[in-house]
Structure 1
Amino acid sequence: MNRSIASGVVSVVSAKVVVLVVTALSTPLLYRLLGAAAFGEYAFLLSVFAIYMIFVSSGVTDGVRKFLAEDRAAANWSEHVVGFYLRLAITLSVLGALLLVVATRVGLVGRAFGSELTSYFYVLAALVVTAQFRDYARKTLMGFGLERYSEPLKIVDKVGFVVVAVPLVYLGAGVFGALAGQLVASTLVAAIGLALVHRRVSLSCLFSRPTERFPRRQMLTFNSMSIALVFLLMSLYHIDIVMLQRFTESSAVGNYKAALTLAEFLWFIPMALQTVFVHSTSELWSQNRLREISDLASRTTRYTFLLTAVMAVGLAALADIAVPIYFGADATPAIAPLLLLLPGSLGFALARPILAISQGKGMLRYPVAATGAAAVINVVLNVTLIPRFGMHGAAVATSVGYGSMFLFHCWSARLVGFDPLSDARLGRSILATVLAAGPIVTLSTAIGNPWLALAVVPPAGFVIFVVFALLVGALDPAEPFEVLSTFPDPLGAKADAIRGWLAAGGTKQREQNRLHSLLFVVGLSLLVSGLTLGLLGSGIGSVTP
């Protein structure tokens, strides 16, 4: 990963960490204040809105980000791209808002979703406009490589939402209060973002007309394929919520959304990579640097697997403790769906950077086909399982749909022109995960105090996992320092020095010792498993009937 891409990833990850913390604090608060039923209604409304916004904004935001990042020699290229997509953003947002108002006024919304939800859609109509300009401004800044501006705006958006929504909900505004928070926050971010864009390119470009050679048809084709791709992706995110609202009560939707929220915490690093890779790899594709793209993709796949797998194992080990503490005792039914969602969430995490690299080339036919196949599996399983098994059926269906994304997008990547598995070491990574799971689960079970378990298991589990990953060869000793070397100095310089020392001294010897390390790891795992069984056996034997 070169330093320019890595700096973008660092900016995105830093912002996502802050957003993750704010989300982690505000979501359970909203769940408690709204209650499971109202929280379910709010989640349902956001799912409907996200699907609707696909047709309003996805072609605009993906297009402006990709084409601004391309290094073209055309005169005033940036100004023409910004102006073209700004005109498109205004037109689509106005049409989208008017259509939603008309559909609500004539009763279509009430017949489709129930009269009790109708009034909320007027707020959503206003949110169409503000969200459009919020996302346009942020993606334009990203297209210029200005993640240092675009990513703090996500923090402003999340903090602004919390500052407005939580007090309103606390005062009794309910779902209206939460939606008002979304509206105010998106308005604020849109205003700041557009001002920052104006500093780089004057927004008067809205009125400029590019030459006949300007690739309008190519842009519109990309936009249509982006809309298809995002629609299929959003169906994976939201079809389960929409169907649950149709076949179950709102409290079940609320608990299932709670499980989804925790499972989606696994994605914050893959989502950061996906965010940066679309425009960063566009330049690599334009320069035909195929070997560098495959190397980037395969190493990213490996790092993503390792990071996401250890998080999934830790979350599974602590689910019985974390869910009641995080959301409250009323959310205990969310534990089982969470465990069912984790395997698929891991697969989806792996697919995200691969999809972004494919998008960077602009050849969306194969990514759309791959995502479509996963979406069809997801819809069919949700239709089959939700009426019979409720939120547990939704969790199984969604997990399978999520997991299939990785398989289909590996196939898609080869057709696009790169190999995401050339240095992925999936076998070794899976082995490290399996071997580390025993000690991590044992440690979680052995600690009786829930707060102590939450404090001890995550850092200790991470260390255990890294040790196993190093011993089985899923991770080379120099690689963590190679990643750290891309950080700003002095951390980057010190990490680079350590990486050089490790890389120079022992590659051949490490390969010679690989078998011995693997035998040691297997023996250690068997020992831990034996101790686990002994502990469980003694615990069972001590229980009096």
Structure 2
Amino acid sequence: MDRSILSGILSVSASKFVALIVGLLSKPVLARLLGPEQFGEYATVMAVQAIFMIFVSAGISDGVRKYLAEDRDGDRWKASVIGFYLRTATGLAIGGTIVLACATYSDFFATVFSSRFSRYFYVLIALVITAQYWEFARKSLMGFGLERYSEPLKILYSVSFPLVALPLIAAGYGVIGAIIGQIVATGLAAIGGLTVLHNRKSLKNVFRRPPEGFPRREMLTFNSLSIALIFLLMSLYHVDILMLQAWVGGDEVGYYKAALEFAEFLWFVPIVFQTVFVHSTAELWSNGKTEQISLLAAKTTRYTFLLTAVMSIGIASLASEVIPAYWRYGMEPVGPLLLLLPGSLGFALARPILAISQGNGELRYPIAATGVAAVVNLLLNLILIPRYGMQGAAVATSIGYTSMVVLHVWSARKIGFDPLADARVGRITLASLITAVPIFGLASAITSVITVPYVGTLPVSILVVPPLGLGIFLLVAISVRAIGALEILEILTEFPDPIGALANTLCKHLRRLKVETGVGEFFRP
């Protein structure tokens, strides 16, 4: 894997890891303070905001990453891209606030959901502005390859939100307190991001006309196609929550959201790949390096499958113990979670494939693939939610998610690369089936609990099963040649010291051992 891409992945991974830890600590507190009904209302408001921001952002985040990464006429090109997208972002943010204010004033949300939602969306208007500039600043920095600046801002956002939101919720502000937390967190991150961006690349270009021949039409076409693609993706994320709120409501939406939060842990690594690959592969596509792209896609699919397979086994084995202790909602979210896991695994595999396709700029096939999955998801939710509630939503969403990987493999081959060329699906599946037996056995055998101050009792299995399960899985995966021991160490050499230095030393010893003894199968990539 290219070193610049890998450094970007490591930078994004660090911020995602911090965000994951902060989320693990803060989300159960948020859910308990709000209660299942208000937690469901908050999830609904944020789902509407995410879909609405698709049209406000108008593909700006993907466009600015893609075009900044391309090498066209040096710094003058990059300055013009920044100016064009900043002007566009500002105009759309102003328009978005007007549209949202009018929709709320006309009681649209009160009619669709309940009267309480009107006051939520009045407060949400401010989030349109802060989220727009935060997204623009972060994705612009990534387009320049400056993940070392963009990702600390992600950490700032992740930490600021609970620090502001939780005291407000505890003080009795409920869902509005959570929304204010989002506004403050995105506002701080936006100010920081725009300041860094201005210091690195002056934002004065927002007032300058782009040079003759600047491809506005090409960029606007890409933005328009990105809107369609992102809208279809967001429908996969949020249509189940919105339908469940409209047709069922009450505590069940909160329970379902709790299940989704756990299922989405599988997306940690794939989201990192997806975040980096749009702009990183855009540069490779523009330089005609299709062979390198195919190799990157094949390795990424295999690594994603390996990691998400073992994570899904671990989550499934611990679900009945961990979820009641974590959310304090009892066993209600466990059933939907188990139904969601297969689909979340499929969606995890589709994410990096989609990002590489986006980097190419040819969005017809990704839109078609995502559109079919979105229609399947929508129809199944329409059929199953009225009859089966959150269980029906889980089944519908899982099938919709699973279809994504099949459809996007087809899309990738149409564009010109094969993500399954080195996927080793059979070997990874075999390793997963073998490993599932000891992992589930460990989870069942360990029944003791520990008391954590301010948290309560937690099952000991949550501390024991993940590291032991991962170790067992890696040994089995190496044994069936789903991955090589040397291959793992070569990846670890790119990590910061002391991990990188230790892995580099071990790599040298293993290569020497391989040459001297002629043993190859164990070390084979």
Fold shared per TM-score above 0.5: yes
Report SS of the residue matched to 1:333: coil
Report SS of the residue matched to 1:455: helix
Distance apart, 1:266 and its partner CA: 1.1
Between 485-494 and 306-315, report the one with greater CA deviation: 485-494
d(CA) in 1 for partners of 2:117, 2:376:
30
Gaps of 5+ in 1: 515-545
Contact 1:158–1:185 (Cα < 8 Å) also in 2: yes
Q: Deviations over 1:87-116 (max 9, x none)?
A: 000000000001111111123332233222
Q: Amino acid of the residue matched to residue 371 of structure 2?
A: G
Contact 1:351–1:405 (Cα < 8 Å) also in 2: yes
Contact 2:335–2:391 (Cα < 8 Å) also in 1: yes
TM-score, normalised via structure 1 length: 0.92
Contact 1:436–1:465 (Cα < 8 Å) also in 2: yes
Q: What does 1:370-389 correspond to in 2, within 5 Å?
A: 370-389=369-388
Report SS of the residue matched to 1:114: coil
Aligned to 1:137: 137
Q: Amino acid of the residue matched to residue 99 of structure 2?
A: L
Aligned to 2:183: 183
Gaps of 5+ in 2: 450-458
Q: Amino acid of the residue matched to residue 481 of structure 1?
A: L
Contact 2:66–2:359 (Cα < 8 Å) also in 1: yes
d(CA) in 2 for partners of 1:263, 1:423:
26
Q: Deviations over 1:493-524 (max 9, x none)?
A: 4423433543565497444999xxxxxxxxxx
Aligned to 2:9: 9
Aligned to 1:215: 215
Say whether 1:475 aligns with 2:483.
Answer: yes
TM-score, normalised via structure 2 length: 0.95
Q: Amino acid of the residue matched to residue 305 of structure 1?
A: F
Q: What does 1:32-431 correspond to in 2, within 5 Å?
A: 32-73=32-73, 76-328=76-328, 330-431=329-430
Contact 1:58–1:230 (Cα < 8 Å) also in 2: no
Contact 2:42–2:175 (Cα < 8 Å) also in 1: yes
Distance apart, 1:488 and its partner CA: 3.4
Contact 2:60–2:89 (Cα < 8 Å) also in 1: yes
Q: 1:305 to 1:375 in 2, by over 3 A?
A: same
d(CA) in 1 for partners of 2:300, 2:383:
35
Report SS of the residue matched to 1:488: coil
Q: Amino acid of the residue matched to residue 363 of structure 1?
A: E
d(CA) in 2 for partners of 1:397, 1:492:
43
Report SS of the residue matched to 1:103: helix
d(CA) in 2 for partners of 1:512, 1:366:
39
Q: Deviations over 1:160-214 (max 9, x none)?
A: 1111100000111111100110111111111111001101111111111012300
Contact 1:67–1:81 (Cα < 8 Å) also in 2: yes
Name the count of aligned residue pairs. 513
d(CA) in 1 for partners of 2:62, 2:286:
17
Contact 2:479–2:522 (Cα < 8 Å) also in 1: no
Contact 2:340–2:398 (Cα < 8 Å) also in 1: yes
Q: Deviations over 1:16-47 (max 9, x none)?
A: 00000001111110111010000010000000
d(CA) in 1 for partners of 2:434, 2:8:
34
Q: Amino acid of the residue matched to residue 260 of structure 2?
A: L
Distance apart, 1:449 and its partner CA: 1.2
Q: Pairwise CA RMSD of aligned residues? A: 1.6
* Matched-pair identity in %: 57
Report SS of the residue matched to 1:433: helix
Aligned to 2:456: none
d(CA) in 2 for partners of 1:392, 1:477:
41
Q: Pick from 487, 499, 522: which aligns with 2:495? A: 487
Q: 1:504 to 1:411 in 2, by over 3 A?
A: farther
Contact 1:258–1:331 (Cα < 8 Å) also in 2: no
d(CA) in 1 for partners of 2:354, 2:104:
36
Q: 1:384 to 1:449 in 2, by over 3 A?
A: same
Contact 2:30–2:166 (Cα < 8 Å) also in 1: yes
Aligned to 2:462: 454
d(CA) in 2 for partners of 1:502, 1:56:
53
Contact 1:378–1:400 (Cα < 8 Å) also in 2: yes
Aligned to 1:499: 507
d(CA) in 2 for partners of 1:74, 1:183:
36
Distance apart, 1:74 and its partner CA: 5.6
Q: 1:504 to 1:363 in 2, by over 3 A?
A: farther
d(CA) in 2 for partners of 1:261, 1:250:
18
Q: Deviations over 1:217-275 (max 9, x none)?
A: 11001000100000000000000000000111221000000000011011111101100
Contact 2:357–2:415 (Cα < 8 Å) also in 1: yes
Q: 1:386 to 1:503 in 2, by over 3 A?
A: farther
Larger radius of gyration: 1
Report SS of the residue matched to 2:331: helix
d(CA) in 2 for partners of 1:500, 1:412:
40
